[in-house]
Amino acid sequence: MYSDITKYFEISPRVKEGLVNSEPVVALESSIISHGMPYPTNLEVAKMAEEVVTENGAIPATIGVWKGKIVVGMDEQQRYEISNKPGDETTVAMKASVKGIPFAVIQKRNAGFTIAAILRAASIAGIRIMATGGIGGVSRGGEFTMDVSADLEELGHTSVGVVAAGCKSILDIGRTKEVLETKDVPVIGLGCDSFPAFFTPSSQYRIDYRIDSYDEAAEFLRTKWELGFQGAAILCNPVPAQYAMDQEIIDEAIRKATEMAKENAVGGEHNTPFLLDRVSELTGGASLRTNIEVIRNNAKTAALIAKSYWNHR
């Protein structure tokens, strides 16, 4: 870590030990705690993700801001205090992308991190693998609104492997894939031949390359970065078929949710949480259950890839 910014970071003892000893560490997102899921499901899922990473031989590092410190490896109390629990003012947390981190720090705020912020903080700390649900991307209608997630820009220059179930199908998957192409971010299909659509394991959009083993995925990352090719790689890990949603049901829910967002003039960083909430309501909670299984599956896969990455360096 750069010595001039260590005063802004708090790295948990176990994560620090792992980084010093070149053990596999997996970065985990915190926006699902602060904004992505309702209380108390948000805390249950965050704890589950950490347990899955540990069970599969890696060290979990949930990253966010707590009382003005960028914490790499949040403990249970810190996770609670960014949970936005209704009625508890001690748990109020903002949502921060990279641009919001300095504000959260100087204001001594709590903050859940977007993927872009996790990427940046993980990279500074020396973590090479992260697990998330689905990456951000181009919003539907983004060709007119220019509503494009900062995740895509960050992916273009920050060297972390991102295990994700593609991008959320509330987004414009085709245009998201095109932006990734422009940024020269490789999209790897882990045992799949198309870009996963988060709630469903496939879409009409292509991946760049298919890789069928965790060892080869780790070797791809090592080779990319050893060649000096900076930037992330998306490791697409489709939702297991038994937890996938029916295509027609999810498409109709997304269509209705998108209309509601337009009617309520919702945009920017509020768009994705709004759409996910509405889709969950419209599907009777089915989309949330799928989301949970996506997190579980990606946490496991990220841990196994991280193990291979560090064991073969």
39: tokens are: 């209380």
Q: Kind of pairing, strands 69-72 and 59-66?
A: antiparallel
| Buried/exposed code over 127-145 (b: 16+ C-beta within 10 A; e: otherwise) | bbbbbbbbbbbbbbebeee
Of 113, 33, 107, nearest to 72 by C-alpha is 113
| Contact by Cβ (8 Å): 25, 63 | no
Q: Is 168 a catalytic residue?
A: yes
- Give me the catalytic one of 168, 177, 300, 307: 168
Beta bridge partner(s), residue 171: 139
- Considering 29, 50, 154, 269, which one is annotated as catalytic? 29
Q: How far apart are CA 64 and CA 30, in angstroms?
A: 6
Say if strands 233-236 and 187-190 run parallel, antiparallel, or are unpaired: parallel
Does the annotation mark 143 as catalytic?
A: no
Q: Helix or strand or coil: residue 158?
A: coil
Task: Examine residue 40 and say whether the peptide bond preceding it is cis (omega within 30 degrees of 0).
Answer: yes
What positions carry a catalytic annotation? 29, 168
